Amino acid sequence: MSKTLLQFDFPFQGPWGAEMPAAMEGLAADIASEPGFLWKIWTENAETGRAGGIYLFASPEEAEAYRVKHAARLEGFGITGITAHAFAVNDALSAITKAPL
Amino acid sequence: MSKTLLQFDFPFQGPWGAEMPAAMEGLAADIASEPGFLWKIWTENAETGRAGGIYLFASPEEAEAYRVKHAARLEGFGITGITAHAFAVNDALSAITKAPL
């Protein structure tokens, strides 16, 4: 097993910033309990109208299971145009650039 | 100033994994000295033929200056089809999901 980075982003119309947690806190707690979940950084850009997240999972299989589940959830929210990419992490280069792994 | 996440990915044909550092170590050290640079996770996917990085910068302005510089560098390597998105980080939600910020 090797750590897998999962990158989601999609068109989003808010709520943004401090208003987002009230709507999303329950979801965040649920996401944190997913199998193989290590961490998620929540991303948002009100100017470009995009939001998403950067995730680290313990294995490619767990990242893929979450990708399928989360894409379906976003589509259930009416979100379209979802971009999701999974990547291996290059540990040697990431160590040189102080990555929090 | 608020921390800014910068997400780069693009078509890539290797070298992958353990072979990548030999080609990229000098670049990694240079990137680590950029103004406002906090960290970079190096990403790669030999199956989909994509690579890139997730960066954290201290400010939107420093992230944007790097985006312009790095996109030009990648284009100089002959890379096209570059996707680069900048995002604010939602600290409250990211704290719930154990983000390394």
Is the Cβ pair A9, B9 closer than 8 Å? no
Domains of chain B: 4-96 (3.30.70.100)
User: Tokens for A62?
Assistant: 């767990």
Say how far apart CA A31 and CA B79 lie, in whole Å: 35
Which of B37, B42, B96 faces A94 most closely, judged by CB atoms? B42
In the block, residue with structure tokens 């767990």? A62
pTM recorded for the entire structure: 0.95
- State the smallest CA–CA distance between residue A32 and chain B in angstroms: 5
Report CA-CA distances (Å) from A25 to A22, A71, A76, B46, B89.
6, 18, 18, 35, 15
pLDDT interval class at B1 (50, 70, 90): low
Rounded to two decimals, the ipTM of the complex is 0.94
Say how far apart CA B54 and CA B86 lie, in whole Å: 10
Answer yes or no: are the C-beta atoms of B35 and B62 closer than 8 Å.
yes
Q: Name the residue in chain A with its Cα closest to that of B89.
A: A43
pLDDT tens for each residue of B64-76: 999 999 999 999 9
pLDDT tens for each residue of B14-69: 999 988 888 789 999 999 999 999 999 999 999 999 999 999 999 999 999 999 99
